[in-house]
A = this chain, B = another copy of it.
């Protein structure tokens, strides 16, 4: 049994999703969004993100983490504040000894919706179906975070095989 924390990093809204896997079974434990108000001092927003995520990690003690990579927009200036927030997330996982993998948005969409250019709605629908969340609609950021965690779970057999191959070489 393993607890996986998926993260969709952002400055204003960081989605998180916690899954429990047991063999071929996957169950959602929780999901949500850490929000930092736009008018707030930038450093203070990073502290809010750090503290919010720390609480999630301490409560659920994930054994593995999965973070979505940054989408490269043409406007680098707007990407930097998010990259900086992402640094805070990675710091926290490392401080809490949670090993993590990073996945591109395309890989995440491929994993949950079957192709790398799936629309947001398709991702939400797939996540809802796979995790059986029909009664509790998940929002965008939550769905993305759960999708990253699902992507990580899906890659587990290949990761394990690679680890075995590396160990026996």
Contacts and interface: CB of A to CB of B under 8 A. Distances in A.
Interface string A74-90: 00110110011111101
A100 B77 CA distance: 19
Contacts of A94: 41, 43-44, 46-47
Nearest to A65: B43
A93 interface: yes
A42 to B, nearest CB: 7
Nearest to A69: B80
Contacts of A80: 70, 79, 83
A100 B94 CA distance: 25
Nearest to A47: B94
Interface of A: 41-44, 46-47, 50, 70, 72, 76-77, 79-80, 83-88, 90-91, 93-95, 100
- The 9 A-B residue pairs with the shortest CB-CB distance, nearest first, are A84-B87, A43-B94, A87-B87, A83-B83, A46-B91, A47-B94, A80-B83, A87-B88, A88-B91
